[in-house]
Amino acid sequence: MLRLALALSLLAGAAQAAPLAPGTAAFDDFVYSGRDPTDAPLAPGRYANPILKGFYPDPSVTRAGEDYYLVNSTFAWFPGIPVFHSKDLVNWTQIGNAIDRPGQLDFKRLAMSRAVFAPAITEHAGVFYILNTCVDCGGNFLVTARDPKGPWSDPVWLPQIDGIDTSLFFDDDGRGWIVNNGPPAGPSRYDGHRAISIQEYDPKAMTMVGPRSVLVDGGVDASARPIWIEGPHILKVDGRYYLTAAEGGTAEGHSQVVLRSDKVTGPYAPYAGNPILTQRDLPRDRAHPITSAGHADLVRTQSGEWWATFLAVRPYGDDTYNTGRETFLLPVAWKDGWPVILPPKTAIPLSAERPNLPAGPAPKVPTTGAFTVRETFDGQALGLDWMTMRIPAGRWWDLKDGALVLKARPDRLGGFEQPSIWARRQQHLDASAETTVRFAPKGGGDRAGIVALQNDAFFYALTVAGGEDGRSEVRLEKRAGDKDPVDGVVVARASLAGSAGGPVRLKITARGGRYDFAYAGDDGAWKSLAADQDGTILSTKVAGGFVGTMLGLYARADAR
């Protein structure tokens, strides 16, 4: 009965759908569903970690009255820097993207893990500031808005800053100070030797003023040759200044440390109990590990509690994960005048007691737990969580007659170009994504379908494509490194019956490190094209970089 229902649904969709314009592909829907082995019903008064599943790294959080706002890195995906709103630090709704216009930044042909690094958000005197670094595309900048939904301003560039991970602190007297990761004052003594610097910022002139000075050289214990101190934030509590920063790199050695001073410009003394957050002191063979925790940002609630957002990952194997670095939430305890997120050798809990705040509304698009999201493309615009590779130079997509219509252009997934792709994050270890595509290929290089992609060199593409006999086929291509052809190598293919351009259902299923690929044609019956494929090629460990796996809709045609 289910098979018959699917067949009737496909036929009905084909009858109702508007004719396709030449060289376009229409996607009638997109269904994402995911559930993790650790997902379980929550007891009253509890919340689940992570609070933002999937590729949501480098969280920064701020409070304005009774409202909380959070931003994340997006690197070379566009629109960039999602802006989330919450009333309770648990339920988060995306309300905008700070980088949402082609004229704001230019990502050129950068690799997917370049461009937009580690944004930091703060509010002062009714103005919201996001500081950020566009790596290899301009350097450090800030954007501002009166309403965090946007629009956000064009970038104001800060050329005086040499480094990354800028954040802005306003003191009680209204003076602004920017801290960032940068080179040490003298020669670098070892690989990963970095420093934290500070300089005053004039918000009226929107420029840096006064001298720059180094607050931390190397890390909290220079004798241990600490690496990659970064992601700094300053907060003021009871007249003292606290500098928190990540240390130890972004892999399993990641951590969060804190230092304290009586003056904003230092000197800063480290906490004897550092780090205040890490998972590197736990056994690697523990069940359902959460690792690589750090890059925290602290916020005080209106009820007086302190909480920290931070990134961590959930590997399914030996430091192998496809979902990228995710956003977690934990309470902060103050011990002898120092903030502590977790005591040593303490595992990050999968659930915890909720903040003492009125419960906020649940988002329409879930961000945590097990969920299914169905997109029917019947609105005026794509959802805020959809992104494309790099920044489009023109418009090659449309929402028309209940479908996402993509122009099949020559730009390729693996060519460091700007292909016709819109994608959303894989947010669970066990997940599926499926779509109905209508496409009539004219040649062997034409293809349109669904992809699982980590970057230009590592992806799977399950598409309706031009076959060798001139008929349409369903084809699975895989690229597992720079040595593979740009379009990937053909893993499997099968001829399609029926008229060209008719609806075909395509499905990708992720099971940790294994992926399955299936299709359904006119009869509505699912057929396996390739099962048990190597999904570790989509992991950060294999593919490298700082992003996570994206599941998207893609169309391409050879230039003719």
- The catalytic residues are 58, 230
Residue 167: name the closest of 154, 152, 153, 182 by CA. Answer: 182
330 membership: H or E segment, kind and range:
strand 326-331
Tokens of 362: 């649940």
**297 dihedral zone (left: phi>0; alpha: psi -120 to 50; beta):** beta
Structure tokens at 88: 């309770």
Task: Identify which of 463, 378, 377 has the alpha carbon closest to the alpha carbon of residue 413.
Answer: 463
**Local structure of 420: helix, strand or coil:** strand
DSSP code string of 333-384: EEETTEEESS-TT-PPPSEEEPPSSPPPPPPSS--SSSEEEEE---SSS--T
The Cα–Cα gap between 24 and 409 comes to 9
Nearest Cα neighbor of 306 from 328, 333, 276 is 333
Q: Cα separation of 248 and 252, whole Å?
A: 8
d(CA 275, CA 236): 19
Of 412, 458, 432, give the one whose Cα is nearest residue 518. 432
Hey, is 8 helix, strand or coil?
helix
Token output for 521: 């044609």
Query: What tokens appear for 201 in the block?
Result: 């910022």
Residue 527: Cβ within 10 Å count? 12
Whole-angstrom distance, CA of residue 79 vs CA of residue 166: 20
Q: Is 125 exposed, middle or buried (0-12, 13-18, 19+ CB in 10 A)?
A: exposed
Q: Read off the amino acid at residue 86.
A: S
Asked if 14 and 544 touch (Cβ cutoff 8 Å), the reply is no
Q: Are 515 and 493 spatial neighbours (Cβ–Cβ below 8 Å)?
A: no
- Give me the helices (H) in 198-332, please: none
Q: How far is CA 57 from CA 48, 222, 289, in A?
A: 17, 27, 18
Of the candidates 456, 460, 449, the residue with the CA atom closest to the CA atom of residue 503: 449
Q: Is the dihedral of CA 381, 451, 322, 81 positive or negative?
A: negative
Contact indicator for 433, 508 with CB cutoff of 8 Å: yes
Residue pair 152/145 in contact (Cβ under 8 Å)? The answer is yes
Residue type for 513, please? G
Tell me how far apart the alpha carbons of residues 364 and 452 are, in angstroms, rounded to a whole number. Answer: 24
